[in-house]
Structure 1
Amino acid sequence: MRVALVSPYSWTYPGGVTRHIEALATELDRSGHDVKVLAPFDPDRRRTALLHRGARPQVRDLPEWLVPLGGTIGWPSNGAVSNLAGTPSGVATLRRELRAGGFDVVHVHEPVAPAIGWDALTSANAPLVGTFHCYSESVAPHKIAALLGARRKLNHLNVRVAVSEAAAWTGRRFYGGRYRVIPNGVVIPDGGVPAPKVRRPGQPLRIAFVGQAVERKGLPVLLRAFEALRREVPAELIVIGSTAEELAPLLVESEGVIALGRVDDAAKELALRSADLLCAPSLGGESFGMVLTEAFAAGTPVVASDIAGYRDVVSHGHDGLLVPRADATELAETLRDLALDPRRVAAMAVNARESAERYTWPRIAEQLVSAYEDAQVVPKPETAGERAAVKIGLKPADGLERIPARRLPSLEPMPSGGRGRFVRRGLLAGAALTTVAGSYLAVQHIGLQRIGDALVRSSPAWVLVALALMCASMLLRAVSWHAILKAAMPDARPRMVDAVQGITIGVLMSATLPARLGEPSRALVVARRLGRARDRLPVVLGTLVSQTLINVLALVILGAVMFTTIGLFAGRQQALLWYGLAPFGVLCLVLVAPALIRSGLPSRSARVAKWVAQGREATSRVRSGLTVFTRPREGAVAISMQLAAWALQWVSCYVLLVALGLEHKADLGAAAAILFAVNVTAVLPVTPSNLGVFQAACMAVLVGAYGVSPAQALGYGIILQAVEVATAVIMGGPALLKEGLSWREVRLRALHSAPVSLSSRQPAEADV
């Protein structure tokens, strides 16, 4: 049989689909079939790297059975990067080869992917088989594809194949049709699957991870779990597919982590053989997980996320274990239990060898050849009308009744704590939408032209002065924090540059992300600079509490100035005062919590006892960050510099009033009130930089208390926030570059910075 295998993905940026096609072509050729592969091929050039976000292609030979279809561009898709071709020359080459090849069947892989797959569906003059590799529940891209005619084009397929039930779900959900599930194959090493490994007492548990350093693959979750695991048992983590440079931004501690980078298949197989376990903590979007079967072929059991694509491969408790996705604590405890029970790991390794036999390429190729034969014998339409309907895609080419796309229940279980997160996200989204709607209505009511006039009439010189004052205030905050760090950690010898880097990066993250991610960001930056990050982080977080206390003092001073302004928030002073002093309650809780938590009291719940012990330890370490207030010298510097920073911000707010010509209506008291209002409303930000709420706070002060026109007040709020954001970018951008980090990397680090603590475990008989 003469077979054409069509791939939309670059041959020199090999992923799961490319490896599938290459192995299938090899097996079909071994079985006596004549195979041609049509796929894009990127040469190793500088321009190629630029088109793929800096990633260089692998240097691969051009096999005689491969027809190159030009270069590709890297597009973000489904949490990863898809290297797709769509050049006119590539499409022209595809059409020419399909017309002249004399193929008995054309097998299109990922037929929904533009533009190679789409064109092959209408260019081939032979029976068509399509394999669907992708699993995705994202509605938008599939709806767009359907609007562009994907369902009609897919009707040209004589047989539809999916690599898993998850991939078939995607096809049924968004495109309709019938699907037969034929999984990805795996290459069994010469000599068969290796014998199970026996880990001797005292040897570290060797865990392998295969994949890119991206959030979707769950690597940040695994790294948090591994840090907790290493504190209890000897362990090593071997990362295949990511370099040390790519891992560095995600690591808090690098001890025990070995990055092999991008390696060939032989090196990957050797690494999997040497591992006791493969860990695949993906967060979703996996249709099959070829790496799982590759681990089975190496005689290695797996610990994987309980997600749709992986449940089709891993038999829980037999050849591996499934854990809730995104749950670093559960993952760490599972790995810890396996480290303490080597006999269980050995038993699962025996079962993994048996599971690998189900996915051998001879078996998979045999099923695909059967699909090719079925595609060839599909009956031709009998009437001219039916032939026309099939030709234009109105009727399916399989000769059966059309099955339309339909809504299906999700395959993904809700992650641990998912309902609470869903409610929180819903509340934040609702608040953000309310803010946006309110801002839009305010602009409509005031008039865009009036707001524009107020902005245009502002003095650029005074705006620049305000910007300079804001930048200077950031430096004073860094001086204050440096004094606090020195008092809390004299042995670490923190430098001024450490505090400056942390403050400026934290301000940038707070200005561009909601949920105050700037605080953990700057704490992590400094903790990494001062030694073992996990040991330093609680104390560094405690120093943030010290700064918060000084900030509360500054708010009290601003409030006193504000309340002396006649008519300001008439009748509402008491409510605002309580709102502004609310952080005192949190501070008092931090100070007295260790004394209130009595670890010696009995508890009926081990989980409650664990929480109590963890809470006592954490709050005690956080309290050490307040040492500055027991040291007069450092304390005086910290308080005076922090209050001076607030004073500069106060003056900056007043300078902007001058810039808009409002100094005759609003004085320094108004500037104090504005600074107080925007900081109080920023306690729980619902949008980046609290956009919308920020302007509403400025308007409440200027319009309600000082009689400034709404257009000028809103213009003032826009300019003040622009100055704050510009300060964050001017100060934080160079700091990120100096730290060798990107904005995305700092965001990932802040999101996955919470340390993991494991529950106590009684040793089993197998452990002894």
Structure 2
Amino acid sequence: MRIALVSPYSWTYPGGVTRHIEALSDQFIARGHDVTVLAPYDPDDALSPRLHRGARPQARPLPAHLVSLGRSAGFSANGAQSNVALTPYAAATARRELTLGGYDVVHLHEPVVPMACWDTLGGACGVPLVGTFHTYSENSVTHGAAALVGARRRMNRLAVRIAVSEAAAWTGRRFYGGRYRVIPNGVEVGETPTRAPRAPGEPLRIAFVGQAVERKGLPVLLRAFEALRDHVPAELVIVGAGPEDVTAMLEEPAGITALGKVDDERKLAVLRDADVLCAPSLGGESFGMVLTEAFAAGTPVIASDIAGYRDVVRDGADGLLVPRGDATALAEQLRDLALDPAHESRLGAEAARSAERFAWPHVADEVFGAYEDAIAAPRPETASERLAMRFGRRSGDGLPVERARRLPSLEPPIAGRPRPAVAFARRAAIGLAAVAGVGLSWLALQRIGIDRIVEALWRSSPAWVLSGLALMCLSMVFRAVAWRAILRAALPGTRVRLRDSLRGTAIGVLMSATLPARLGEPSRALVVARRIGRPRQVLPTVVGTIVSQTLLNVLALIVLGFVMFSTVGLFAGHQGALIAFASLPVVILLAVIAAPALLRKGAPSRSRRVAQAAAQARRALTRVRAGLLVFRDPRLGSEATVMQLGAWALQWLSCYLLLVALGLDMRAGLGAAAAVLFAVNVTAAVPLTPSNLGVFQAACVAVLTAGYGVGSADALAFGIILQAVEIATAFIMGAPALVGEGLSWKDVRVRALHTAPVELRPMRGDSRAKLKA
């Protein structure tokens, strides 16, 4: 049989699909079939790294049976990088080869991906088409866009549709319709590996294979491993991510070896030497070829309980499944396996037997059967049938067209994250608020007049603006001094330098200014914990110290509130509400101090989840209370209070200087500056956009126009300048701090999302006995 295998992905930047096509072609060639592979091919020259974000292609010779579709370029898709040829040359070359090549069947891999596969679906080659779907995705935006340009109609020209897993078939049925036969990815299976049982007391050797992207779950595994090694001897070898990728996500590197990108032989050697492969992906996996490679090496798997992995791993037989994103459950499962070498051996033996299910000869037989069915599928005979096939109104398998339909998600919620419906509602609300903000801003600009705003900005004094910027930067130094005093009180015996707290403060401010989420606080806690040593032990206490600063911030806001209310008279006759407002931080402080005792004295719940949640809350509040110890030390408490309130005073003065810069100080003096600072900090409690852009200016306009009679154009100009000064402060202070810390913005963001420490449940008596032995 003459077979054409068409791939949209680069041959020299191989991923799972390319490896699949390569192995499948080798199987058919060995059986005497005439096989041609059509795929992009990137030479190792100066241009290729520029098209692929700095990555060089692998040195792979051009096979005699491969037709090059030209260069590819790297794009982010489904949480990873796809190296796809999007040029007209790729489509034209594939069309010419498939039209003139005399093929019996054309096998398209990822049919919806442009350009070659997409163009071939147009039906110009007149050859039976088979399509394999390798991807699991719930992204309705990209698939919806594909459907809008005719993907569903084009897919109907496929005589046979293959999916590598039920998860990939779900994606096809959900977005494109049709009927799918599940044929898994194959794996090379040699002689049954013999593995000597791990002796008690030997470290558990864990392997991870994957890129340092969040979707692969590497941050989750690192958090779990940092907790695991405190309980049992363990080693972690990482393939696919190098030391530079891993270091930024680690608190302590002990026991971890990051090999970076390696060849297939080295990867398989790591799998053979490992006691367990850990695959903690968060989603987006259609199959997981590395799982079957581990099976072929006789290595059991601990993987996330996600759709693509459930098709491969039989929980409790050849591997173990844990809730995705749950670092605690992962660490506990690894600990249990480390303490039970016999269980580990049983899982490994069954994993080796499971590999036979995915052996390439079996997979190739099933794919060849699909080819035969495609060739035997009834062809359109009449002109109307040919026209219906041409426009995708007739299915290529001769059966009625099966339309796309809504299907429930296959994925459980990620541990610690809201359910998809809740997350969608939250994103929708934020999106609507952002759209409303943009709309209102546009209306405000139209009503106020852009020319008036530009004129107000043009009149501002650069000297006063720079003075305000200098005071804003100095206020960050004051905040760092205050935090250092709090840290010294909470961590007696630990050396805390001013540059440690200053660097953490600067990076935290930068993260808060560039992200619409409250990641500034965990970011600065992470940086300081790394700098003062023993990050795993001190991080919870460092996080707790932020509460002390928060209480001082609330006190500063109360002072600003008193100034604001006294200058505009809004609270006249409402003194009771003002007293309640002033007592709020005292109530918060008493709740933090008393909560651990109340949680401990309460009646134990019969629900394990409730009991665990109460215990975690009690531990967290105990740590938070440790951060309040500064107020028991008169010297350090006074230093923290004076410097933190001094920082607010500098910001207050900075706001006033910006009013002076615009010539507004005669109408809006220190009281107005206090009111603006109060308003923008209160609205920042629920950030909708990075730096609360738009909301920030609205708060300034509302305060200055309603309370102090400032014109709307001048008020908006002031809001623009004030936010520009705050963002400039964030970058002036934060960018050098990031460089000095050896971190990138992405490193800090990923690590800040995974700062919560992992605490394992106490071991049972038999587990403690095994560990002792």
- Separation in structure 2 between the aligned mates of residue 371 and residue 185 of structure 1, nearest angstrom: 16
* Distance of aligned partners of 1:216 and 1:572 in 2 relative to their CA distance in 1, 3 Å threshold: farther
Q: Which moved more, 1:108-117 or 1:154-163?
A: 154-163
- The structure 2 residue matched to 1:671, chosen from 673, 677, 692, is 673
Pairwise CA distance, 1:11: 1.1
Pairwise CA distance, 1:724: 1.4
Amino acid at match of 1:138: N
1:161 partnered with 2:162 = yes
- Separation in structure 1 between the aligned mates of residue 423 and residue 376 of structure 2, nearest angstrom: 55
Amino acid at match of 2:120: A
CA contact (8 A) 2:490 2:627 kept: yes
Deviations 1:267-316 (A, max 9, x none): 11111111111111111111111111111111111111111111111111
Pairwise CA distance, 1:367: 0.9
- Work out the number of aligned pairs and report it: 766
Amino acid at match of 2:28: L
Pairwise CA distance, 1:711: 4.0
Q: Which moved more, 1:276-285 or 1:699-708?
A: 699-708
Aligned to 2:351: 352
Matches within 5 A, 1:449-468: 449-450=448-449, 453-458=452-457, 459-461=460-462, 462-468=464-470
- Separation in structure 2 between the aligned mates of residue 156 and residue 460 of structure 1, nearest angstrom: 68
* Distance of aligned partners of 1:718 and 1:261 in 2 relative to their CA distance in 1, 3 Å threshold: same
Pairwise CA distance, 1:418: 5.3
* Distance of aligned partners of 1:644 and 1:132 in 2 relative to their CA distance in 1, 3 Å threshold: same
- SS of aligned partner of 1:661: coil
- Separation in structure 1 between the aligned mates of residue 243 and residue 507 of structure 2, nearest angstrom: 23
Matches within 5 A, 1:609-628: 614-615=616-617, 617-628=619-630
Amino acid at match of 1:403: E
- Separation in structure 1 between the aligned mates of residue 634 and residue 478 of structure 2, nearest angstrom: 18
Aligned to 1:723: 725
Aligned to 2:647: 645
Deviations 1:476-505 (A, max 9, x none): 222332343344446442333222221111
* Distance of aligned partners of 1:577 and 1:239 in 2 relative to their CA distance in 1, 3 Å threshold: farther
Deviations 1:45-77 (A, max 9, x none): 333222212222222222222222221111111
- SS of aligned partner of 2:449: helix
- Separation in structure 2 between the aligned mates of residue 275 and residue 608 of structure 1, nearest angstrom: 37
Deviations 1:561-606 (A, max 9, x none): 2333142455566546645653443333334445556589988677
1:293 partnered with 2:292 = yes
Aligned to 1:340: 339
Aligned to 1:91: 91
- SS of aligned partner of 1:757: coil
Amino acid at match of 1:201: P
Aligned to 2:409: 410
Q: Which moved more, 1:696-705 or 1:595-604?
A: 595-604
Pairwise CA distance, 1:621: 4.2
- Separation in structure 2 between the aligned mates of residue 419 and residue 613 of structure 1, nearest angstrom: 21
Aligned to 1:137: 138
Deviations 1:426-485 (A, max 9, x none): 357536634652563365267354355134313151333322321222222223323433
- Separation in structure 2 between the aligned mates of residue 396 and residue 432 of structure 1, nearest angstrom: 39
Amino acid at match of 1:334: Q
CA contact (8 A) 1:452 1:715 kept: no
Amino acid at match of 1:114: P
Q: Which moved more, 1:353-362 or 1:245-254?
A: 245-254
Pairwise CA distance, 1:319: 1.1
Q: Which moved more, 1:4-13 or 1:681-690?
A: 681-690
* Distance of aligned partners of 1:474 and 1:169 in 2 relative to their CA distance in 1, 3 Å threshold: same
- Separation in structure 1 between the aligned mates of residue 439 and residue 97 of structure 2, nearest angstrom: 55
Deviations 1:377-427 (A, max 9, x none): 222211122123323433233222221222222222234465568547735
Aligned to 1:735: 737
CA contact (8 A) 2:135 2:286 kept: yes
* TM-score normalised by the chain length of structure 1: 0.93
Deviations 1:679-721 (A, max 9, x none): 2333343443234443343334223321223443344333322
Aligned to 2:592: 590
Matches within 5 A, 1:394-543: 394-416=393-415, 423=422, 426-427=425-426, 429-430=428-429, 433-434=432-433, 436-437=435-436, 440-441=439-440, 443-444=442-443, 447-450=446-449, 453-458=452-457, 459-461=460-462, 462-489=464-491, 491-543=493-545
Matches within 5 A, 1:99-498: 99-122=99-122, 123-189=124-190, 192-416=191-415, 423=422, 426-427=425-426, 429-430=428-429, 433-434=432-433, 436-437=435-436, 440-441=439-440, 443-444=442-443, 447-450=446-449, 453-458=452-457, 459-461=460-462, 462-489=464-491, 491-498=493-500
- Separation in structure 2 between the aligned mates of residue 753 and residue 45 of structure 1, nearest angstrom: 41
Aligned to 1:40: 40
CA contact (8 A) 1:173 1:406 kept: yes
Unaligned runs of 5+ residues in structure 2 are none
Aligned to 2:4: 4
* Distance of aligned partners of 1:121 and 1:440 in 2 relative to their CA distance in 1, 3 Å threshold: closer
Q: Which moved more, 1:503-512 or 1:395-404?
A: 395-404
Aligned to 1:750: 752
Unaligned runs of 5+ residues in structure 1 are none
- SS of aligned partner of 2:567: coil
- Separation in structure 1 between the aligned mates of residue 718 and residue 659 of structure 2, nearest angstrom: 7
Pairwise CA distance, 1:92: 3.1
CA contact (8 A) 1:197 1:276 kept: no
- Separation in structure 2 between the aligned mates of residue 45 and residue 517 of structure 1, nearest angstrom: 40
- Separation in structure 2 between the aligned mates of residue 582 and residue 427 of structure 1, nearest angstrom: 28
Amino acid at match of 1:129: V
- The structure 2 residue matched to 1:690, chosen from 670, 689, 692, is 692
* Distance of aligned partners of 1:133 and 1:609 in 2 relative to their CA distance in 1, 3 Å threshold: closer
- Separation in structure 1 between the aligned mates of residue 196 and residue 678 of structure 2, nearest angstrom: 64
- Separation in structure 1 between the aligned mates of residue 196 and residue 582 of structure 2, nearest angstrom: 62
- Separation in structure 1 between the aligned mates of residue 516 and residue 172 of structure 2, nearest angstrom: 36
Amino acid at match of 2:215: R
Q: Percent identity?
A: 63
- Separation in structure 1 between the aligned mates of residue 713 and residue 628 of structure 2, nearest angstrom: 44
- Separation in structure 1 between the aligned mates of residue 578 and residue 59 of structure 2, nearest angstrom: 65
Amino acid at match of 1:365: A
CA contact (8 A) 2:413 2:420 kept: no
* Distance of aligned partners of 1:715 and 1:643 in 2 relative to their CA distance in 1, 3 Å threshold: same
Matches within 5 A, 1:18-29: 18-29=18-29
- SS of aligned partner of 1:286: coil
CA contact (8 A) 2:393 2:401 kept: no
CA contact (8 A) 2:448 2:712 kept: no
Amino acid at match of 2:93: T
* TM-score normalised by the chain length of structure 2: 0.93
Pairwise CA distance, 1:646: 1.3
Pairwise CA distance, 1:617: 4.8
- SS of aligned partner of 2:238: strand
- SS of aligned partner of 1:457: helix
- SS of aligned partner of 2:358: coil
* Distance of aligned partners of 1:481 and 1:663 in 2 relative to their CA distance in 1, 3 Å threshold: same
Measured on the aligned residues, the alpha-carbon RMSD in Å equals 2.7
- SS of aligned partner of 1:260: strand
CA contact (8 A) 1:451 1:714 kept: no
- Separation in structure 1 between the aligned mates of residue 417 and residue 604 of structure 2, nearest angstrom: 31
* Distance of aligned partners of 1:601 and 1:440 in 2 relative to their CA distance in 1, 3 Å threshold: closer
Matches within 5 A, 1:524-563: 524-563=526-565
CA contact (8 A) 2:302 2:322 kept: yes
- The structure 1 residue matched to 2:707, chosen from 705, 708, 722, is 705
- Separation in structure 1 between the aligned mates of residue 364 and residue 238 of structure 2, nearest angstrom: 31
- SS of aligned partner of 2:285: coil
Q: Which moved more, 1:489-498 or 1:359-368?
A: 489-498
Amino acid at match of 1:143: G
Pairwise CA distance, 1:358: 0.7
Q: Which moved more, 1:23-32 or 1:120-129?
A: 120-129
